[in-house]
């Protein structure tokens, strides 16, 4: 009798697995249906952030980081109650200070009553990463989704599956002019726990304007080559948030940093005079309160930025704005390692950006 009970309990425990295996999926490669995904500045670019021509223009580190899929999301509608994503990535799944779900994971949101709601997925990180979603869709009506791609890894191949009896339709990037963010590891998404919590992705859901993430970990340095590429994008706003990658040293002195800021602003204005520009101060380090050498870095950079901003305004530059450290307002617990924000910090970033951006683009 005991043996029969154990067999019965085993069969109950395994039932979900057995039933899952009976599901028949139809698999789709989104690249076959979409030329420009949400969060991309160039068409026919796979899941990459810079166009192929940029390889000969930018530094190797920038090019390699541009293969990471930060900020790119796949928009689609489907009536399926089961959605599965399976894909492979180029690099390691995780980092010591950032989990695999943020580095290499995906994030699915569904639109309900004009709000984007997070969907919990069952995931496994193997050679092929897989996320399985079960959606409450009893009425079998089409719902709108967006699937955010990994923040710190490169997708080699990706398939999105729905039940064979159901439908799916992919959408390209919205027609609205995007906000283009040129920045650092923080803009790229370090150290969000999952893609949807990167501040650029939070912002994209709240202001309903495409956000193009051109954050490059350690390599957002206000370089001419990147400004040339950025100017190709007809945006609603250009955001320059690079000070955390420009810590002062012998070469990066006051004259050099201020020169880079001025050159970037003038170059963008020469090519896109009517598009506003938002300069962003360094948001600070949490340990700057107990380490003077750390506070001197961001205080010095922010002073230089403030002086340059005033200089440009005095020279008659129109449509120029600045977001200050105080307006960003990260609290002392909003950091993973003193430099990169947690999900809490990302939310604080997004709220500060939302306030200033809406004020600029709605004028």
What are the average pLDDT values for consecutive 10-residue runs of the chain, which has 363 residues?
A: 51 47 90 97 97 98 98 97 97 96 98 94 97 79 94 98 96 93 98 98 95 98 98 98 97 97 98 97 95 96 98 98 98 96 98 97 83
CA atoms of 120 and 85, how far apart (whole Å): 13
What is the bridge-based pairing of β-strands 121-124 and 129-134?
A: antiparallel
The predicted pLDDT at position 5 comes to 46
CA atoms of 119 and 86, how far apart (whole Å): 16
The predicted pLDDT at position 137 comes to 67
In terms of Cβ atoms closer than 10 Å to its own Cβ (0-12, 13-18, 19+), residue 94 is middle
CATH architecture classification, 179-361: 3-Layer(aba) Sandwich (3.40)
From-to residues of CATH 3.40.50.1110 in the chain: 179-361
The predicted pLDDT at position 10 comes to 55
The predicted pLDDT at position 121 comes to 97
- What count of other Cβ atoms lies within 10 Å of the Cβ of residue 81? 15
- Residues 6 or more apart whose CB falls under 8 angstroms from that of 276 comprise 236, 237, 238, 319, 320, 321, 360, 361
Residue appearing with tokens 């070469």 = 251
- What count of other Cβ atoms lies within 10 Å of the Cβ of residue 21? 8
From-to residues of CATH 2.60.120.260 in the chain: 25-171
Global model pTM greater than 0.85: yes
The predicted pLDDT at position 22 comes to 80
The predicted pLDDT at position 13 comes to 54
The predicted pLDDT at position 336 comes to 97
The predicted pLDDT at position 141 comes to 80
* CATH number for the domain whose boundaries are 25-171: 2.60.120.260
The predicted pLDDT at position 2 comes to 54
Distance of CA 215 to the CA centre of its chain: 8
What are the backbone dihedrals phi and psi of residue 317, each rounded to the nearest 5 degrees, phi first? -70, 125
Given a contact cutoff of 8 angstroms between Cβ atoms, the answer to whether 241 and 220 are in contact is yes
Given a contact cutoff of 8 angstroms between Cβ atoms, the answer to whether 160 and 21 are in contact is no
């Amino acid at each position: 009798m005991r043996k029969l009970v154990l067999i019965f309990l085993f069969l109950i425990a395994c039932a979900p697995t057995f039933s899952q295996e009976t599901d028949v999926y139809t698999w789709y490669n989104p690249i076959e249906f979409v030329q420009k995904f949400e969060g991309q500045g160039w068409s026919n670019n796979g899941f990459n952030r810079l166009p192929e021509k940029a390889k000969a223009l930018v530094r190797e580190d920038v090019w390699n980081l541009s293969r990471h899929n930060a900020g790119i999301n796949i928009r689609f509608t489907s009536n399926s109650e089961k959605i599965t994503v399976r894909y492979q990535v180029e690099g390691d799944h995780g980092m010591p200070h950032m989990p695999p779900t943020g580095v290499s994971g995906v994030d699915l949101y569904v639109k309900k009553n004009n709000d984007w709601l997070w969907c919990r997925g069952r995931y496994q990180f193997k050679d092929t990463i897989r996320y399985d979603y079960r959606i409450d869709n009893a009425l079998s009506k089409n719902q709108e989704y967006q699937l955010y791609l990994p923040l710190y890894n490169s997708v080699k191949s990706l398939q999105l599956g729905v039940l064979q009896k159901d439908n799916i339709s992919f959408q390209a990037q919205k027609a609205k002019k995007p906000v283009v963010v040129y920045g650092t590891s923080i803009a790229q998404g370090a150290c969000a726990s999952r893609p949807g919590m990167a501040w650029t992705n939070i912002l994209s859901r709240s202001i309903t304007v495409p956000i193009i993430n051109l954050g490059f970990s350690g390599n957002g340095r206000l370089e001419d080559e990147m400004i040339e590429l950025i100017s190709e994008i007809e945006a609603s706003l250009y955001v320059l948030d690079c000070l955390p990658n420009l810590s002062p040293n012998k070469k990066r002195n006051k004259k050099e940093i201020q020169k880079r800021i001025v050159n970037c602003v003038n170059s963008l204005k020469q090519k896109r005079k009517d598009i506003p520009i938002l300069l962003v101060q360094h948001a600070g380090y949490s340990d700057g309160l107990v380490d003077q050498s750390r506070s001197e870095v961001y205080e010095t950079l922010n002073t230089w930025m403030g002086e340059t901003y005033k200089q440009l305004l005095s020279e008659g530059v129109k449509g120029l704005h600045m977001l200050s450290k105080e307006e960003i307002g990260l609290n002392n617990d909003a950091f993973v390692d003193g430099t990169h924000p947690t999900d809490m910090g990302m939310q604080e970033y997004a709220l500060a950006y939302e306030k200033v951006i809406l004020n600029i683009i709605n004028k």
